[in-house]
Amino acid sequence: MCDSAKSETEVPSTFMSLPVRSIYVHVPFCEHRCGYCDFSIIANRAELIPRYLNALRKELETSPHLDSHLLEVDTLYIGGGTPTLLSANELEELFSILSDSFLLAPDAEFTIEANPDGLTADKIQVLKSVGVNRVSLGVQAFDDSRLIQLERTHSVQQTETAIELIQQNFSNFSLDLIFAIPGQTMAEWQQMLLKAISFQPPHISSYALTYEKGTRFWSDRNKGNFQSTDEQMEVEMYLKTISELTKANYDHYEISNFAKAGSQSRHNNIYWSGRPYLAFGPGAASFVNGQRHSNHRSSFTWMNRLEQNQSPIVSTDDLTAEERARELLAIGLRRRQGVNLDDLKNATGIDIAACYETEINDLIEKGWIQKEPFCLKITLAGLLFADEIASILI
Amino acid sequence: MAASGRSTSKAGRMEREFIRNFSIIAHIDHGKSTLADQLLLQSGAITQRDFKDQMLDDLDIERDRGITVKAHAVALRYEYKGNTYELNLIDTPGHVDFHYEVSRSLAACEGALLLVDAFQGVQAQTVANAYAAIEVDLEIIPVVNKIDLPVTRVDEVLDEVETVLGLDASQALRVSAKTGVGVDTVFQAIIERIPHPSGHSTSPLQALIFDSKYDSFRGVIIYIRLVEGQIAKGDKIRFMRTGGVQEVIEVGQFIPKLTSCESLGAGQVGYIITGVKKLEDVKVGDTVTHEHRKAEKALPGYREPKQMVFCGMYPIEATDFEKLRDELGKMSLNDSSFSFQPETSDALGFGFRCGFLGMLHMEIVQQRLEHESNIDLIQTAPNVTYELLLRGGQVMMLDNPQDVPDAGSIEEFREPIAKVNFIVPTSNIGVLMQMCEERRGNYINTEYLGPDRAQVIYELPLAEIIYDMHDRLKSATRGYGTMDYEVIGYKTANLVKMDVLVKAVQVDALATIVHRDVAEKRGRGLVKRLKDEISKHQFEIPLQAAIGGKIIARETISALRKNVTAKCYGGDITRKRKLWAKQKEGKKRLKQFGQVEIPQKAFLSVLEAGKDD
Ligand SMILES: Nc1nc2c(ncn2[C@@H]2O[C@H](COP(=O)(O)OP(=O)(O)OP(=O)(O)O)[C@@H](O)[C@H]2O)c(=O)[nH]1
Ligand code: SF4
Ligand SMILES: [Mg+2]
């Protein structure tokens, strides 16, 4: 522990007392599990949705962080899974459950994740009626053979229809893309980017394909069934993403996220700036009062526990002020706006720049981060090594 | 039929007719410590309330791993046919590294309980330990243990006892140390079949030191077996070999805790505490006699346990060197079979060359170091001791590959050879022989223990078996094969030193000694493993293996282009934090060589020859 951490007790650390104004709800249903996916989902079991909704209601009712008063929130994010796999009626019920606990602030951001195949006009009507004002669409690729390769259940045709529908009903939306798919060339990826830009989405998230333990992609790659994209190529595709999207007036505001002016994801910025949030559903993790609580990742265990009046939480991490400060820096650096050291000090009581002087100077020397008045920022070169940086600072 | 509680708590003198001294010996995990528990319980030496499993295994490391590494002595009182008997029991380790503990214990006894697992039957250490007992003429009582197991092969096991060990199986007992069934017959056999000790309390004192233990409060506790004479508190005694003279401050027995008494007589087993403060000042195997009435000669002693494997231990932080010295010193206070000497490495700086009885011993010492001190260590790959005949005619012992002199000055390069006794299912003989041939083995013979199992004997270079032969045997035989070895001498072989260059810099701590015929293959395997262990850097890292300056194998670690996870949202943060923290912890165990960071695991990976194929 560093010296200035001693001041922990004297300087009140404000992060402990910030009120919660952000909510995440995890909907763990998908039609089919995509080959690369290791999320907490259950595939092809739509008949479990009513049971899930009951469990969710119970989780909200019994949450130690909620009381009988409605909690006013600035951001509400329904993620998955595929929330739009719920029928229009089930979606209505989901929102009625949420409205028993939460009240949207007048300018709140209310996002839902959707896949192109389930997004019908009647569901869009329900979403609009309950106040959803942002849709994040899982496009992944504009090429049917790539979609098949990824084991997605939709076609490019369906994607285009879905985007049109969204554009007619919501001004704010985001498209998710995947690059470095085995076999994908640079030219192909560039085409994909241009195609995405042609729809003028206010927001784009672009992720390198990753191989997670337990997925089919992981085992197939390890068996040598296919060759994953060469690392150098992946890096070049990433750099191409940044240049193409920047050229098209998107602000590269986080490692994988790009937004037109005023369209950054407010909800995700909550995560990266270390403000508190509550999260519900299997595998969801809350951050409140300086503690991280994680729910059980298995949807069945999560439901069983709630049905048996047990807490769905499997682990709680109590972070010390110093751990908080380090985490804020490690995660905050993922944002290109950088980390304001004064704010960090005020929020945690830790003078991180003093504690980690050698480490920070090393990183500056490597050209991975740079120092500006009151602020540390990641460089373009550093973006490629964000985890390396995090593991040095954490 | 347990003895009454009254007579069990007291230590003290006993007529030799009522004393029985015995060891419990067996292959690893056949239930020695569990049987000792039962004998303690059923004799009333401990109550059910104070009882815990493997009661005598009191070292942390023993309790952690469920194995015995040190012999443990305890005195029981047992009521039999109207008389009270003193039964001195010594529980012994089963693992081959600690075989010397068994030999020492046997020298303090007239009999031995030889346990054989009712399912596993006679195994390699059963044979080794039984022969050790036969050699010193002990009365051996074969005991088939674990008869409660759902599947047993008692009849076949008894056949093995007869054919392999030459013991009379009709006299064998059948027990379950776990449930206690048949344990009464063990008491009966101990008393009826094991001869009582033969010494006289009136003769001049001759007591064998069969073990010693360091206690930070009381100094050294000396375990003795009185052969002749008697010993009492206040006696002036002499250690016949080392020549030291001391006064007996305390004398007593283990019941099972240290329990002091006035005196002990011929035939008894117990302990004395003298002014000796350091373990190295007491020689196990020495004879204790009275200063004023000396015995004519010392009892036959023990062969010193020999260190078989050596490795370098280096602090990652150079400033921890003195601290490491202190910790190693403390460690050797408790364990005189472990040695350490300062050495230096160009790559690793100042450290120590440490000697161990075997790989398990090495692992145990290293773990204790890690638990008990907070020094981050780099440990180099273990090696055996080589013997070199130099051109000038001198013979040199070598326990560090870095010290191999110039090839031109070596007349003969000799390596230790072990006689290895394997016991395997007959269906695995083929694989076993192939493994041994690949390791330059010299076949001796095969003996069938029954229709399904055989004992195969090979002579093998110690260096070829010590590192991973046991694991490989286990996996080749689905856990059914066992092995035991004994070093029988040195043999000349075509050996060379293989150097390793990392980014064109020779890293002395990665050097190994290999046989010339397999050097290319080993070299290729080695650089490949290093490639897996050393993580990517921001630049390319060539790895080369070389003999006498000639490159025999190479690999290149390509440059790291990125290390970034695409997604880091609310639910990911906890997992990411843990991952980053783990990576950070991993970094602590890296040693910087020039620009390259080499992790601890890389130093050990040089020996994983089994993966070369
Ligand atoms: N079922 C059964 N298990 C037993 C019996 N005796 C011992 N065991 C089990 O066998 C395992 C090994 O027992 P130990 O008494 O530690 O064996 P050991 O011979 O002292 O082992 P080392 O000291 O490491 O050589 C333990 O899990 C015991 O519980 C028995 O009679 N029946
Ligand atoms: S749609 Fe998304 S959450 Fe569902 S299986 Fe595919 S990748 Fe996973
Ligand atoms: Mg034991």
Query: Of all atoms in ligand 1, which is nearest to the CA of residue B125?
Result: 25
Strands across the sheet with B245-247, in order?
B245-247, B236-239, B287-290, B206-215, B219-228, B269-273, B250-254, B258-261
- The pLDDT value recorded for residue A15 is 55
Q: What is the DSSP letter of A366?
A: T
Tokens linked to B525: 């395997």
Q: How confident is the model at residue B467 (pLDDT cuts 50, 70, 90)?
A: confident
Kindly state the helix (H) or strand (E) to which residue B80 belongs, with its residue range.
Answer: strand B72-80
Six token digits for residue A76: 């509400």
Among B571, B574, B587, select the one facing A317 at the smallest CB separation.
B574
Domain A15-273 carries which CATH code?
3.30.750.200
* Residue range A275-321, pLDDT digits in tens: 999 999 999 999 998 899 999 999 999 999 999 999 999 999 998 88
Confidence at residue A40, expressed as pLDDT on a 0 to 100 scale? 86
Average pLDDT, chain A: 92
Give start-end residues of each CATH 3.30.750.200 domain in chain A: 15-273
Mutate which of B560, B572, B573, B589 to disrupt the A interface (most A C-beta within 10 Å)?
B573
* Model pLDDT, residue B8: 38
pLDDT beyond 80 at A137: yes
Task: Identify all chain B residues contacting A271, using CB atoms and an 8 Å cutoff.
Answer: 568-570, 573
For B561, which of A232, A284, A285 is closest by C-beta distance? A232
Three-class secondary structure of residue A25 per DSSP:
strand
Residue A44 backbone zone (phi > 0: left; psi -120 to 50: alpha; other: beta): left
pLDDT: is B209 or A15 the higher one? B209
Residue B104 near residue B71, CB atoms below 8 Å: yes
Q: Comparing B293 with B374, which gets the higher pLDDT?
A: B293
Tens digit of each residue's pLDDT (9 = 90 or more) over A342-362: 888 888 888 888 888 889 999
Digit-coded pLDDT (tens) for B109-136:
999 999 999 999 999 999 989 999 998 9
* CB–CB contact B580 A292 (8 Å): no
- Mean pLDDT, rounded, for A125-135: 96
- Contact criterion met (CB < 8 Å) for A287 and B587: no
Q: How far is B538 from chain A (nearest CA, A)?
A: 10
Asked if the C-beta of B570 comes within 8 angstroms of chain A's C-beta atoms, the answer is: yes
**% pLDDT > 70, chain B:** 96
Contacts B574 to A, Cβ<8 Å = 285, 292, 294, 315, 317
Q: Residue-wise over A270-291: b if at least 16 C-beta within 10 A, else e?
A: bbbbbbbbbbbbbbbbbbbebe
**pLDDT level of residue B610 (50, 70, 90 thresholds):** low
Q: Look at residue B478 in the predicted model and tell me its pLDDT.
A: 83
Q: What is the pLDDT averaged over residues A95-109?
A: 96
CB B197 within 8 A of CB B19: yes
Check if the beta carbon of residue B231 is closer than 8 Å to that of residue B288: yes
Is the CB of A255 less than 8 angstroms away from the CB of B564?
yes
- Most confident of the ranges A334-338, B477-481, B606-610: A334-338
Identify the band that residue B66 occupies on the pLDDT scale cut at 50, 70 and 90: confident
- pLDDT higher than threshold 80 for residue B173: yes
Give the one of B563, B566, B567 whose C-beta lies nearest to A388's C-beta: B563
Q: Which residues have C-beta under 5 Å from ligand 3, the single-atom ion?
A: B 32-33, 68
User: Would the pLDDT of B2 be above 60?
Assistant: no
Out of A31, A32, A41, mutate this one to test ligand 2's pocket (max ligand atoms within 8 Å of CB): namely: A41
Region of residue B296 (phi > 0: left; psi between -120 and 50: alpha; otherwise: beta): alpha
Give me the pLDDT at residue B230, please.
95
Q: From the CB of residue B217, how many other CB atoms can be counted at a distance below 10 Å?
A: 4
Would the CB of A80 count as within 6 Å of ligand 2? yes
> Which tens digit of pLDDT belongs to each residue from B7-42?
334 677 888 899 999 999 999 999 999 999 999 999
pTM of the model: 0.66
Contacts of B562 in chain A (CB under 8 A): 231, 234-235, 238, 384-385
Percent of chain A residues topping a pLDDT of 70:
96
B420 vs B373, more confident? B420
Alpha-carbon separation of residue B107 from B47, B94, B100, B536 (angstroms)? 30, 17, 11, 56
Q: Is the dihedral of CA B406, B409, B411, B415 positive or negative?
A: negative
A385 touches chain B (CB under 8 A): yes
For position B613, what pLDDT does the model report?
45
Q: What pLDDT was estimated at residue A127?
A: 97
Tell me the nearest-neighbour CA distance from A31 into chain B, angstroms.
Answer: 22
* Ligand (nearest to CA of A147): 2
* pLDDT on residue A103: 96
Report the pLDDT value the prediction gives residue B10, as an integer from 0 to 100: 67
Quick: pLDDT tens for B73-97.
Answer: 999 999 999 999 999 999 999 888 8
Considering chain A, tell me which residue range(s) the CATH 1.10.10.920 domain(s) occupy: 320-394
Q: Measuring CA to CA, which residue among B433, B434, B600, B440 is closest to residue B522?
A: B440
Beta carbons of B490 and B459 less than 8 angstroms apart: no
Give the CA count within 13 Å in the CB-facing half-sphere of B213. Answer: 18
Per DSSP, B164 falls in state H
Taking one residue from A and the other from B, the number of pairs with CB-CB distance under 8 angstroms is: 88
How far apart CA B319 and CA B326 sit, in angstroms, is 13
Residue A14 pLDDT exceeds 70: no
Q: Is the pLDDT of residue B303 over 50?
A: yes
pLDDT classification of B445: cutoffs 50, 70, 90:
very high
Across the interface, whether the CB atoms of A271 and B583 are under 8 A apart is answered no
- The per-residue pLDDT for B590 is 66
Confidence of residue B100 (pLDDT cuts 50, 70, 90): confident
Query: Which pLDDT score is estimated for B598?
Result: 85
Q: Which CATH architecture has domain A320-394?
A: Orthogonal Bundle (1.10)
Average pLDDT, rounded, for chain B: 88
